[in-house]
Amino acid sequence: MVASKRHSLYFWLIWLVISIVIASYLVYAMKSIEAGQFGPATIFLPGETTSGHHQIEENCAVCHLASFGGEALLQDACTKCHAEELERIEDSHPLKKFVDPRNADTLAKLDARFCVTCHVEHRPEMTKAMGVTLPENFCFQCHEKVGENRPSHQQLDFNSCANSGCHNFHDNRALYEDFLLKHAEKPRHLPRQQVESRNLMEFFSMTALYPSTEYPFKPLSLVQADAPLAHGSDHQINSDWLASKHAQGGVNCSACHTQTNTSTNGKEWLDKPDHTQCKGCHIGETASFSSGKHGMRLAADMSLMSPSLARQPMKAESHSELVNCHSCHSDHRYDTKYAAVDACLECHDDEHSRHYLTSPHGKLWQQEVESQAAPGSGVSCATCHMPRVWHENAEEVERILVDHNQNNTLRPNTKMLRPVCMQCHGLGFSIDALADPSLIKNNFKGLPSVHVESIDMAVEADRLHRLKRLNKTSP
Amino acid sequence: MCLKKNMLLASLVSTIFIVPLQAQDVGMEKTIAPRQMADALHLVMEADRTVYTKKVVNRLTKKDKVITASEHFKDDKALPLPAQMFRFGAETAAEKIAKKADIDFSYSLQSIWPVNKQNAPKTDAEKEGLQFVADNPGKNFYTMEELAGKKYFTAVYADVAVAPVCVSCHNDHKDSPRTDFKIGDTMGGVVIRIAQ
């Protein structure tokens, strides 16, 4: 009897100790999050996070703006990061299309007003491509009768709408029927295969963003360098700066290396400028960097991204690197050619990247680097994954921006058609190439082995319509 | 002198306190019936829609032939179609209404011959109303309906082809189920809903 009581006491003691340990760890994890140390927070993750969010999963508050917030608060978190893109891509299914009460029946089946209806986070067992957690035939709910208007669609499976290279739920800028028709006859290679030139200097000359009074657009020599003596004697730094676009464009040492002291209001030297200094002039680049795979942790007040945290294969020797502006744009030299290819290949080690240098795109890039081909005719990693796009700033001044948010052209890969592929290739060839996984893996060595029939369908529908109209007008 | 000062003070007090009260009350003394409100809303919508169709789209595309109108107006560097213009207005209003606690109405352009099938009537009231205005030119349709547990006063008004551009566009469109429209025909209807 006494032994039994003793056993029972031991049991409760062990239970108490375990409970205290668990509770202490949970409190420690919570306190760590509050203190900006997010590592221990992984204990709270209810399941594996999708590839779009895994980098910021430790900072729960990025998505969970408050406890027990419900769908509406989660929606606020989604729009905080994704609203700008949805607006820019002319989202085919925006919220405003669903708020009319006439959609009540449809919303009861599929509530398209909330992102989480289709994208439930932390549910790997039901997560499909693009982070969609619904059955793949969800288009059926609203487009059940599509076959009545499009005979070509009568036999098609609703599972195939979004994964055959034909439609996307959000971005259909390169896939809508009249666009397919307009580009139906375009050849595999366009007569002009060249991307737009950057025009940052032209842009700066039109805006107040660049301090042109302090740093006029005039090439600088070494004697004009304004770094204090203690900081200006490194030969390598000096020669890198002299060769850079900064020195050639009038950007002196102090432009990046000084900051305003908030208490004295005077300028003070800054040894290691970070992205906040770059942002002063390169606001579009830093903003898109902070929204992309390389900088989203920074935007979430977390430590810098590192290849060791990536889910994509990365080179072992790069694992300790930290990703900021200078990781790719080596400081002082700011060689965009290095940033466009070499910097990427220092870390990325997936099959597509490993095949790049020997690919047709890689060879074109090599020719451009060796000045054997026109500027803009080579295809670097950045040409496709950080493309040059027209961008308008708050003052409505347009310029070519190197879009550092690779998500804008990554998945679904048809987002890449207009800003990237169609700069050099016809639409049909581009759609087929992007639909061929093996061609993507070998970095486009060869021709597509897949054919997406969307253009054929559009052409046939147009032919039938013209025939019908001809018959109607014929006596 | 003292009386003058007191009068001045009284005027000041009344200016500070009474005027804002009056301003708050302006327009609140009489209730507008849902039907009157719907009729008034439609009057404005119809006027703006007719002006855009006739004085902008029809004039510039059919008469002056200086620009086209296109569903893909951004890509085609063209004018938005009159129906798109109407829908953009409805969507913008819906976004603003969603933020207001004391205003709850919606409107949409629909047809029993829709180019975009998502604009076909869905609810019983819409089906009945659109058929009614198509069969009874010059008459409106009014009813009450309940959607997702909420009651609405619903009004349907005929949307009439007011210019050649309406007729030619709908008759030539590959997704139009009807291709024999003439000017003056009812092509669809404007559905206005006011929450009760």
What are the tens digits of pLDDT across the range A322-371?
Answer: 999 999 999 999 999 999 999 999 999 999 999 999 999 999 999 999 99
Q: What is the pLDDT of residues A27-78, one digit of tens each?
A: 887 777 777 777 777 888 999 999 999 999 999 889 998 877 788 899 999 9
ipTM at complex level: 0.84
Q: Which residues of chain B are within 8 Å of residue A176 when distances are taken between CB atoms?
A: 72
Beta carbons of B94 and A472 less than 8 Å apart: no
What integer pLDDT is reported at residue A172 of this predicted model?
97
Residues above pLDDT 70, as percent of chain B: 87
- List all residues 6 or more positions away from B40 whose beta carbon is below 8 Å from its beta carbon: B32
Comparing CB atoms, the residue among A90, A96, A176 nearest residue B94 is A96
Residue A2 has a pLDDT of: 66
Q: Which of B95, B108, B148 sits opposite A104 (nearest CB)?
A: B148
User: Considering only alpha carbons, which residue of chain B is nearest residue A93?
Assistant: B118
Q: Which residues of B touch A179 (CB under 8 A)?
A: 72, 75
Beta-carbon contacts of B29 under 8 Å, excluding residues fewer than 6 positions away, are: none
- Tell me what percent of the residues of chain A surpass a pLDDT of 70: 99
- Residue B131's pLDDT is 98
Contacts of B117 in chain A (CB under 8 A): 145-146, 148-149
A248-301 per-position pLDDT tens digit: 999 999 999 999 888 888 889 999 999 999 999 999 999 999 999 999 999 999
Say which residue the tokens 């006494």 belong to.
A2
Average pLDDT, stretch A227-252?
92
Record: contact A102-B150, CB cut-off 8 A = no
- Interatomic CA distance for residues A417 and A429, integer angstroms: 10
For residues A443 and A464, is the Cβ–Cβ distance under 8 A? no
Query: Per-residue pLDDT tens for A195-221?
Result: 999 999 999 988 888 999 999 999 999
Amino acid, single-letter form, for residue B12: L
B91 CB neighbours in chain A (<8 A) are 94, 96-97
Q: State the average pLDDT over residues A426-432.
A: 98
Give contacts of B74 with chain A, Cβ < 8 Å: 90
pLDDT in tens, A305-320: 999 999 999 999 999 9
Question: What average pLDDT does range B161-167 have in this prediction?
Answer: 95
Using DSSP, how many helices (H) and how many strands (E) does chain A show? 22, 4
- Which pLDDT score, from 0 to 100, does residue A41 have? 74
**Based on the number of CB atoms within 10 Å of its own CB, is A432 exposed (0-12), middle (13-18) or buried (19 or more)?**
buried
Chain A to chain B Cβ contacts (< 8 Å): 55
Which of B123, B174, B193, B196 is the best mutation test for A, with the most CBs of A within 10 A? B174
Mean pLDDT computed over every residue of chain A? 93
Flag if B193 and A145 touch (Cβ within 8 Å): no
Q: If you average pLDDT over every residue of chain B, what do you get?
A: 90
φ and ψ at residue B14, rounded to 5 degrees: -65, -35
Chain-chain contact of A107 with B148 (C-beta, under 8 angstroms): yes
Q: In terms of Cα–Cα distance, which of A73, A119, A56 is closest to A290?
A: A56
**Is residue A416 within 8 Å of A434, Cβ to Cβ?**
yes
Whether the pLDDT of residue B47 is over 90: the answer is yes
A462 vs B contacts (CB less than 8 Å) = 174
pLDDT, tens only, A128-167 = 999 999 999 999 999 999 998 899 999 999 999 988 899 9
- Alpha helices by DSSP H, listed for chain B, are 2-25, 34-51, 82-97, 124-135, 164-172
Burial class (CB in 10 A: 0-12, 13-18, 19+), A418: buried
Q: What's residue B58's pLDDT?
A: 95
Confidence at A7, pLDDT banded by 50, 70, 90: confident
- Report pLDDT for B176: 95
How many angstroms separate the CA atoms of B3 and A93, rounded? Answer: 69
Mean pLDDT, rounded, for B10-32:
60
Any idea which residue has 């059940």 for tokens?
Answer: A144
Cβ-defined contact of A99 to B106 (cutoff 8 Å): yes
Residue owning tokens 């719907």: B38
Q: Helices (DSSP H) in A292-388: which residue ranges?
A: 296-299, 325-328, 336-337, 343-347, 351-354, 360-369, 381-385
Domain residue limits, chain A: 60-172, 191-198+281-424, 211-272
Percent of chain A with pLDDT over 90: 79
Please state, as a whole number, how many other Cβ atoms lie within 10 Å of the Cβ of residue A167. Answer: 19
For residue B72, what pLDDT band results from cuts at 50, 70 and 90?
very high
Q: A96: distance to nearest CA of chain B, Å?
A: 6
Which residue type sits at A239? Answer: S
pLDDT at B18: 47
> At CB < 8 Å, which residues of chain A contact B?
90, 94, 96-97, 99-108, 142, 145-146, 148-149, 176, 178-179, 461-462, 465, 469, 472
Q: How far is B108 from chain A (nearest CA, A)?
A: 8
Nearest to B73 by CA among B54, B63, B91, B60: B60
**What is the C-alpha separation between B93 and B109, in angstroms, rounded?**
14
Per-residue tokens: B191: 């559905």
